[in-house]
Amino acid sequence: MLLLLTLLLLPNLTYSTQLRTSISTRRIPPVKGVFDKFFGLGRPQRTKLGSLDVSPMGVGTWAWGNRLLWGYEEKMDDELGAVFELLVANGINLFDTGDSYGTGKLEAQSEKLLGRFISELPEGSRKDIHVATKLATYPWRVTSSQFVNAAKASRERVGGRLAMGQLHWSASNYAPWQERALWDGLCAMHEQQVVEEVGASNYGPKQMRRLSRYLSKAGIPLASNQVQFSLLSRRMDCKEANDEEGVVTIAYSPLCLGLLTGKYSETNLPKSQVRRQLFKSLLPRITPLLDELNAVADFRGKTMSQVAINWCMAKGCIPIPGAKDLNQARENLGALGWELTPGEVESLERAAEKVSVQTVQNIFMTS
């Protein structure tokens, strides 16, 4: 079971090499009503991520090529490109990826797809797109220069500009001697202007503070820390520690691999065998939370996914839900432009406390 969950949480899986055909002639308009609150003078509201002005919700691109968990096929590339255009048209400008998203001959396919999609945007709009990539803590990356070179390779794949480089996970649990080289690599890639901001992922409060204070000695702020954060993984200890250090919390898996969408049941499980096994085990045990999510969604005229994503924003995080088709992208956009009330937030959290299980954390998550 631990191996199964590790596979779920570390998506270093297979990606396609075939890129979609050009969709540069198709322009997708904004989804009506999505930004009723977020549009002022024709521009969506932004939030700060270090020096970057980013949308209050980003997009995770784990599924953009992943076959084992998300059923990716090469024929999906056209729709993935349309998803990208739809999100950009509706003000989303933060795209999270990783150089380990695709291995072997399909290495870094998610980054390559993003680079292709960005290149097909009108030239004037490309500068507003912020790609944040997670650089894998591979055992052969043992010097700061190797980490910088990895960032340079990612920068080229995404089109020549990399807004943020992030440590995908800490080596402190299994190879603590490697950690200092990784931190020095973050410093060097920032100083050499390979990236504009630096961040971390899967860093618990103690190790995050160590990293933040190490970087600050070099005059470099830690912009963000990406953690598994949802109603089934309420890591407020990480959020509070991040806040104390002035670090933005990016919430990955805000829908907990789809468990919080309300689209699945014990008789309607995902096609992926790995997710089927996980959902079969967890769905019967999270009924009180799903019932409350459904009640709030019905009352607000929203979907359960939109409520779950909005909860993350209510807690002060930037969620990065995935979107592998246009329906998912449109639904995610519906999480914006409104806010849960404090009472609704409290009722959801009370329901979550009744659940007998929480999502197992990433095996590389530190203390």
Distances in Å between the Cα of 274 and the Cα atoms of 3, 4, 143 are: 11, 7, 35
Where does residue 31 rank: exposed (0-12), middle (13-18), buried (19+ CB within 10 A)? Answer: middle
What is the DSSP annotation of 190-245? HHTTS-SEEEEES--HHHHHHHHHHHHHTT--EEEEEEE-BTTB--HHHHHHHHHT
Which residues, in sequence order, are CB contacts of 247 under 8 Å at separation 6+?
208, 212, 222, 223, 224, 225
How many CB atoms neighbour CB 261 within 10 A? Answer: 19
Of the candidates 101, 203, 252, 264, the residue annotated as catalytic is 101
Give the long-range contacts of residues 138-141, CB within 8 A, separation 24 or more: 138/100, 139/175, 139/178, 141/178, 141/181, 141/182, 141/185
Q: Which residues of 219-249 are buried (b: 16+ CB within 10 A; e: fewer)?
A: ebbbbbbbbbbbbbbbbeebbebbeebebbb
Active-site residue, 101 included = yes
- Active site residue ranges: 101
